[in-house]
Amino acid sequence: MDTKHAILMAKSRTISPADGRMYANLLAHERLSPPDLAELQRVRGARLATYAWDTTDFYRDHYSSAGLSRQDVADPEAFEHLPTVEKEHLRDGSARFHARDVAQRDTKMASTGGSTGEPVRLLHDRRVPVRTISWRLLRWWGVEASDDVAHVYRHVRSPRREILHTLQWWPSRSIQIDAYRMDSAALETFFRRFRRVRPRLVLGYVGGIYELACHIEEHGIALPPVAAVGVTAAPLSEVQRSTIERVFGAPAFDHYRCGEVPWIAGECGAHRGLHSFGDVRLVEVVDDGGRRLPAGVIGDTVVTDLTNRAFPLVRYRLGDRSAMIATPCPCGVTLPLMEHVRGRVSDALHLPDGQIVAGEGLTAIFDDWPEAVRAFQVYQHADASISLRYVVGSDPRAEEIVAHVRDVVRSMVRDKVPVATELVDSIPHDGGKTRYIVSELRSVAPVRA
């Protein structure tokens, strides 16, 4: 394993010296004092905002229409007061975010947002070796960048990309399964490769990995143990965490990323929340007006990608809900802690009087009974009625517990809409992203109860 790691690191240094430099910086920043880190963020944030003003059509308009001058934007103390960027801004004209002085060869087109809205097109900055941020996270999980990995994502790589990927990562090996198409043939191939490669890491969507874990357990499939399981893209419930850890024989680690900003935050071995990668991503939790909320108060996550200069994203509201954590982490890493992401703003129930029941209270309704219900979804139909769909687990009291939780949901919606229970065989997931709360209703105005 050490030899493989040395080969990969040596390759990185020769092929891309930027990898080695960025990784060394990331390691050096992990234990900065909180005031030093906050200063680094303010300076980098202001520098990026000024750059965005100078090189894009969007930011100059956005800031000047808020009454700000270039000098205001360049002031590090003003950073947290800059107006936020909303998804609608990107949808209305993402070309206005392109930085003028970046050559096309330094950018990579990406699109995102398929499941919750129209896709948004944006650019990644190829000059930034983003993979080194994942190396930092893997190190916290006891896994090296060179270790073999099993991916459970939505899309598998095409044969051509597979060859490029193999060359880039050699001598590390990776296997993959499409979380969206886990039929018996795909599973059989995946398990055969899994036994041969013996990956140290399983990485992918919560829903897909959980489904895989349930299949392995139900069919008594024997697989070599791994060192860690990294999950993302949905809140990880206690039910899912305990199943995944039991089946793979390794701790599960949550992490936070999205199409717009790769690698935002991740869990360390202390499991006290997610450390935001504060030296390269500035995460804030804010109210509707974009003002920072104190630690412990749930709000919208707003992220600044401090590294992407091709398509600057400055104080970008991702539409997820979380809270910052004030207590330092016992692991020794000083990067700021945030709570596990509680689901999307859009995942809420809508009551006939216009009130909204935020989704974050609903994602944990079964957490106290991990054995009773294997999976669930709170589904609101177009007539506002609610179905509490559930897949029963091994606890013989399951029906009783479901009835209790139905009453809890009834009180959360203040008995204003009917709530029924519905036993189902499985909960569909969207490319491995399980949505706990689905509403066919959309609020007219973004009001929160």
* Distance in Å, CB of 331 to Zn ion, minimum: 3
8 near Zn ion, judged by CB under 5 A: no
Q: Which of these segments, 68-76, 173-181, 321-329, 342-350, binds Zn ion (CB under 5 A)?
A: 321-329
**Smallest gap, in angstroms, from Cβ of residue 433 to Zn ion?**
26
Could you give the strand order of the β-sheet that contains 299-305, starting from the edge strand earlier in sequence?
281-286, 299-305, 316-322
Which are the contacts of 317, defined by CB distance < 8 A and separation ≥ 6? Answer: 84, 85, 86, 87, 286, 290, 300, 301, 302
- 349 and 410 Cβ atoms separated by less than 8 Å: no
From 4-12, 309-317, 327-335, 436-444, give the range in contact with Zn ion by CB under 5 A.
Answer: 327-335
Q: Does 313 bind Zn ion (CB under 5 A)?
A: no
- How many chain residues bind Zn ion (CB under 5 A)? 5
On the 0-12 / 13-18 / 19+ scale of CB atoms within 10 A, 284 is buried
- Rounded to an integer, what distance in angstroms lies between the CA atom of residue 247 and that of residue 212? 9
Give yes or no for residue 331 binding Zn ion (CB under 5 A). yes
* Residue with smaller CB distance to Zn ion, 51 or 253: 253
**Residue closer to Zn ion (CB basis): 239 or 333:** 333
Cβ–Cβ < 8 Å for 69, 36: no
Q: Which of 138, 236, 302, 333 binds Zn ion (CB under 5 A)?
A: 333
Q: Annotate each residue in 266-295 with x if it binds Zn ion (CB under 5 A) or - if it does not, as one string.
A: --x-x-------------------------
Q: Exposed, middle or buried by CB within 10 Å (0-12, 13-18, 19+), for 71?
A: exposed
- Region 362-401 residues binding Zn ion, contact defined as CB under 5 A: none
Instruction: Choose between 52 and 268: whose C-beta lies nearer to Zn ion.
Output: 268
Report the residue number, 236 or 348, with the smaller CB distance to Zn ion: 236
Least distance in Å: CB of 277 to Zn ion?
12
Q: From start to end of 345-407, where are the E strands?
A: 348-350, 356-358, 373-380, 386-392
How many C-beta neighbours within 10 Å does residue 4 have?
17
Token pair of 278, please?
């504060």
Q: How far is the CB of 44 from Zn ion (least distance, A)?
A: 22
Which positions from 22 through 41 interact with Zn ion, judged by CB under 5 A? none
Give the shortest CB-246-to-Zn ion separation in angstroms: 24
Give whichever of 141 and 316 is closer to Zn ion, judged by the CB atom. 141
Toward Zn ion, which CB reaches closer, 141 or 190? 141
| Region binding Zn ion by CB under 5 A among candidate stretches 153-161, 163-171, 228-236, 322-330 | 322-330
In the chain, the amino acid numbered 25 is N
Q: Does 130 help bind Zn ion (rule: CB under 5 A)?
A: no
Cis-peptide, bond into residue 328, ω within 30° of zero: no
Query: By C-beta, is 28 or 164 nearer to Zn ion?
Result: 28
Indicate the residue among 331 and 364 with the shorter CB distance to Zn ion. Answer: 331
**Which residues have CB under 8 Å from 340's CB, separation 6+?**
235, 236, 254, 273, 274, 322
Cα-based distances in Å from 449 to 221, 367, 391, 416, 428: 46, 23, 29, 14, 28
Nearest approach, Cβ of 328 to Zn ion (angstroms)?
9
Please state at what angle helix 17-29 crosses helix 131-140, rounded to 10 degrees: 40
Binding positions for Zn ion, rule: CB under 5 A? 268, 270, 329, 331, 333
